Every structure is written in C-alpha cells, then in structure tokens.
Structure 1
Amino acid sequence: MKIVQISDTHLTAAGGPTEEGFRLLVRHLDEDVRPDLVVHSGDIQVLDPDDTADRVRSRELLDLISTPLLVVPGNHDVGMPGLNAWAGITVTDARVAAHVAVFGPDHWRHETDEAVLIGIDSELLGSGLQREADQWRWIEDTVADLPVRKPVLLFLHKPLWSATDEPVDHQVDVGPVARDRLLGLLERIDLRSVGCGHLHRYRQVRRDRAIEVWAPATAFLAAGEDSLPDGRQELGYVEYTVEGGEVTAQFRLVPGMPQITTDDVPSIAQAIEAMTALR
C-alpha cells in the first residue's frame, strides 16, 4: 500500500506561487506516483482561518487530487490553543465548525487491509473546548476498538514529541500534557508511524517501534529556526509504504517545483507582517 502525506499547502483565493506549486504536485501524484491514499496534515489555507474565500478556493484545489483524500486541520485552518497562538488567532468552536463544513471531520479513522490510519485535530489539544473533550473521548473509544496487531499510522498537524528543548514564542508541538496522555492511550496498539507538518521541513526519527515523520511543506520554506533540530529544508512530500506489517517513509521532491521562501511571495510576506503586528 502506498500513502502520500502532503502538508502546509497554504492555498489562497489570490492564486500565485503556492497554487502553482500545488498544481505541479497534483499532476505528479496523478500521473507518476498514483498512491492508494493521500493525507493532508494541515495548514491547507494560507494564513487566516476566517477567510471564507481562501477556504472555498482551497477545497476546489484539493478536489483536483483524483486519489482518495483525508485531511486534518492546522493552525491556519482553525486557529491555535493557548495564550501564545500565532498572531493571537486561537482555536474556537466556530472556526473548527467552518473547517469541518468544507473539508470534513477534523478527526477520523480509516481502515484498510494493511493498516489503520487515524487523524486527530492537534489544535484542539489544550484548548479547553468541549470539542477537545469530545475528541479525547473519541480517541479513547477508537483505540480500545483497534486490532492489537494491525499497524497504525497516526496523522496530526503539530509534532507529537517535543520539537525543541529551548523556549520559543510560538507553539511548535502539542506540548507535554497532551503528548503523555496520547502516548499512554496508544500503548496497547501497534503504532508504527506518526506523521505531522507545521514546521516546513522533513525529518524522520525512530521512536521505539514507530517512526516520527515531519512532512515538508509544498508552499514555501520557513524562515530559519535555530532552536529546531536539523531537517531537510526542501519543498516536497512524504511517501509511505505499508507492506508485510512494516511501515517505511521517504522524502520525495516534486519535479519542477521551485524551492521558494516567503520572500518570493510578497503578498504572503506582507500578510504575515501585518498579522503578527497585531499580536
């Protein structure tokens, strides 16, 4: 079984380089890769979860993918929990509901002959919303119902394990409270991979029997973050292979995709500057 994880597409109704790169990705997946399933690990739309036009256009572009698609939200889709949310945009019931109405459930279980895929909304963790309590209840029920010996692949937007030992002024992972609770629930299942996005770089680390995979962005490279571990800072995607009970993952480039930064997308650079100035 071949699964492709894409992440941080940052699509906008204004079009431009992120859409151009995404169209290259879609053509490559449909014509060359032909996966069995595609998972998008969040930050579908460009920056603002309240921009209806961006959300609608993002859905239209995702529909270009001919392969079955599963989606979990990122902070630019529904907001972040906590006091240090990026640009002060916190997750709310209304933002999650708007996302779900267009992209489908923010947490899900997808079972195949070879494996079980689970997607969760990392932006609810630590939010204190009723939706967080509902998701925890769903996770508990789902894990209790999973086959003990069937490989499980977990997907979420922010890294599950700590992304840095140094303090930063924004959220780079789900935090220790949610991590410990979730890992405790997952102990009884055959967890083989945890795929996330958010950090716009690729990294793969072995965590006991599972591999932790940071998926690269397709939109643009992030600004340097000295406190984060080294990773492959190129735009691309991740290709998973599930065979004989084993799960492997590889970084892949998209032919012809330019390796751009936010400086190459002035409209995004200006929007980031404007939104962060409001903090």
Structure 2
Amino acid sequence: MKIVQISDTHLTHTGGPTEDGFRLLVKHLNEEVRPDLVVHSGDIVVLHPDDAADRTHSKALVDLIEAPLLVVPGNHDVGQPGLNAWAGINVTDERVAAHEAVWGPDHWRHDDEAAVLLGINSELLTSDLQREADQWRWLEKTLAELPVGVPVLLFLHKPLWAVTDGPTEHQVDVGPVARDRLLGLLDGVELRAVGSGHLHQYRQTQRDQAIEVWAPATAFLVPSEDDRLPETRHELGYVEYVVDDGEVTAEFRTVPGMPQLTVEDVPAIAEAIAAMTAE
C-alpha cells in the first residue's frame, strides 16, 4: 500500500505561487506516483478559516488529485486553541463546522487490508470545546475496536511529541496534557507511524515501534532556528509511506520543477506577519 501525505498547501482563490506549485504536485502524483491514498495534514487554505472563497477554491484544486483523499484540519483551516493563537485566530465550533461542510468529518478512521489509518483534529486538543470531548470519546471507542495486529497510522496537523524544550510564541505541538492522554490510548494498538505537518520542514524520528514524521509543506519554507530543530530538511515536497507485510516506511519526496518559495513569496502570509510584528 502506497500512501502520500501532503501538508501546508496554503491555497487561495487569488491564485499565485502556492497554487502554481500545487498544480505541479497534482500532475506529479497523478501521472507518476499514483498512490493508493492521499492524506492532507492541514493548513489547506492560505491564512484564515473564515475565508469561504479560499476554502471553496482550495477544494476544487485538491479534488484534481485522482487518488482517494482524506483530510485533517490545520490551524489556518479551523483556528488554534489557547490564549496565544497565531494572529488571534482561535478554534471555534463554527469554524470546524464550516471546514466539515466542505471537507467532511474532522476526525476519521479508514480501514485497508494493509493498515488502519486514523485522522484527528489536533486544533481541538486543549480547546475545552464540546467537540474536543466528542473527539476523545470517539478515539476511545475507535481504538478499543481496532483489530489486533493490524498496523495503525495516525495523522494530525500538529506534531504529537514535543518539538522543542524551550518556550515558543505560538503552539507548535499538541502539548503535554493531550500528548500523554493520546499516547495512553494508543498504547494498546500497533502504532507504526504518526504523520503531522505545521512546521514546514521534514524530519523522521523513531518513537519505540512507530516513526514520527514531520511532513514538509508544499507552499513555502519558513525561517527556522536550526539549533532548536535539529536534523530537519528544509525543502518543499511530500512524504511517501509504504505499508508492506506489517511494516511501515516513509521517505521524503520532491516534486520536479517545484520552486522553493519562502514566506516573502506569498503576499497574504508576508503581510499578516508584518502586521503582527508592527503591533
């Protein structure tokens, strides 16, 4: 079974460089890779979850992918939990509902002969919304029902394990409380991979019997403090997973001709950062 994970596409109805790169990705996946399944790990839209035009246009573009598609939301799709959400964009019931109206459920289970894939909404974790409690109940029930011995791959937007030991201005992982609870639930299943996005860089780390994978963005690179995020790959691309006889492997892949854009190449993001810096 071949699974492709794409992430942080940051698409907008105004088009521009992130769409140009995404169309190259679609062509590459459809004509050369031909995966059995594609998972988008969030930040589908360029910036704001309340922009319905961006959401509609992004759906039309993502639908160009011929393989079956599963989606989990990112902070730019539904908002972020906590008091210090990026640009003050907090997760709300209304924003999650708007996302689901276009993309389907924000958490899901997908069964294949080779593996079980689970997707969850990381932006609900520690939000104290009723939707968070509902997702926890679903997780408990779903994990308890999984068949014994079948590999499990979990996808979410923010990394499950701590990204850095130091403080960060905005939430970069799910945090210790949600992490401990989730790992406790996953302890009884054959967890083999955890794929996330959000950081716009690639890294693979062994976590007991599972591989932790940070998927690169397809949209643009972001500045990084290398001493705090070691052993990462700063390049746009995607991740290709292979599930074979109970084993799961993952590899970074590039897209031929995809330009290596930066924040400065995407006006909506550059302007938002400039406005935040000026405050």
1:262 equivalent in structure 2: 263
CA apart distance, 1:277: 5.2
Q: Which amino acid aligns with 2:262?
A: T
2:47–2:268 Cα contact (<8 Å) kept:
no
Match of 2:178 in 1: 178
Letter in 1 for 2:232: G
C-alpha RMSD of the superposition: 1.1
CA contact (8 A) 2:195 2:214 kept: yes
TM (norm. structure 2) is 0.98
Q: Does 1:248 align with 2:249?
A: yes
Write the mapping of 1:117-136 to structure 2, written as runs, cut at 5 A.
117-136=117-136
Instruction: Provide the C-alpha distance between the structure 2 equivalents of 1:90 and 1:230, rounded to a whole number of angstroms.
Output: 31
- Summarize deviations over 1:7-44 as a string: whole Å, max 9, x none: 00000011000000000000000000000000000000
> Match of 1:35?
35
Hey, what does 1:236 align to over in structure 2?
A: 237
Is this contact kept in 2: 1:148–1:188, CA < 8 A?
no
Q: 1:57 & 1:277 partners in 2: Cα distance?
A: 29
Query: Does the CA-based 8 Å contact 1:43-1:76 persist in structure 2?
Result: yes
User: C-alpha displacement at 1:103, in angstroms?
Assistant: 0.7
Give the conservation status (yes or no) of the 8 Å contact 1:163–1:229: no
Give CA deviations for 1:127-159 in whole Å, capped at 9, x if unaligned: 000000000000000000001200000000000
- Per the TM alignment, residue 263 of structure 1 is displaced from its structure 2 partner at its CA by 1.3
Separation (CA, whole Å) in 1 of partners of 2:203 and 2:170:
20
Deviation at 1:45, TM superposition (A): 0.2
Q: Which amino acid aligns with 2:181?
A: R
Q: Distance in 1 between matches of 2:141 and 2:175?
A: 22
Q: Specify the alignment match of 1:197 in structure 2.
A: 197
2:93 aligns to what? Answer: 93
Asked if 2 retains the 8 angstrom alpha-carbon contact of 1:87 and 1:278, the reply is: no
How much does 1:273 deviate? 2.2
Q: Quote the Cα distance in structure 2 between the aligned partners of 1:49 and 1:277.
A: 21
Conservation of the 8 A alpha-carbon contact between 2:21 and 2:258: yes
User: CA offsets per residue over residues 205-255 of structure 1, 9 Å max, x none?
Assistant: 000000000000000001223533330000000000000100000000000
In 2: Cα distance, 1:231 partner to 1:43 partner = 20
Aligned residue number for residue 78 of structure 2: 78
Structure 2 distance, partners of 1:267, 1:157, is: 21
Q: Mean alpha-carbon deviation: is it higher for 169-178 or for 261-270?
A: 261-270
Q: For residues 265 and 130 of structure 1, what CA distance do their matches in structure 2 show?
A: 35
What's the counterpart of residue 164 of structure 2? Answer: 164
Q: Secondary structure at 2:39's aligned position in 1?
A: strand
More moved, 195-204 vs 223-232: 223-232
**8 Å contact from structure 2 (residues 42, 198) kept in 1:** yes
Q: Distance in 2 between matches of 1:95 and 1:219?
A: 22
What secondary structure sits across from 2:46 in the alignment?
coil
Can you list the C-alpha shifts for 1:77-118, whole angstroms capped at 9, x where unaligned? 000001111011110000000000001110000000000000
CA–CA distance in structure 2, aligned partners of residues 266 and 172 of structure 1: 23
**Cα shift at 1:278:** 8.5
d(CA) in 2 for partners of 1:86 and 1:268? 12
On the 8 A contact 1:164/1:229 being kept in 2, the answer is no
Could you give the per-residue CA deviations for residues 253-274 of structure 1, whole angstroms, max 9, x where no partner exists? 0000011101122343113323
- Which ranges in structure 1 are unaligned for 5 or more consecutive residues? none
1:146 aligns with 2:146: yes
Partner Cα separation in structure 1 for residue 268 and residue 45 of structure 2: 14
The secondary structure found in structure 1 opposite 2:192 is strand
State percent identity of aligned pairs: 74
Matched residue, 1:212: 212
- Tell me, in whole angstroms, the C-alpha distance in 2 between the residues paired with 1:65 and 1:150: 27
Distance 1:11 1:186, change over 3 A: same
Query: 2-side partners of 1:80 and 1:178: how far apart?
Result: 14
Distance 1:104 1:182 in 2: 23
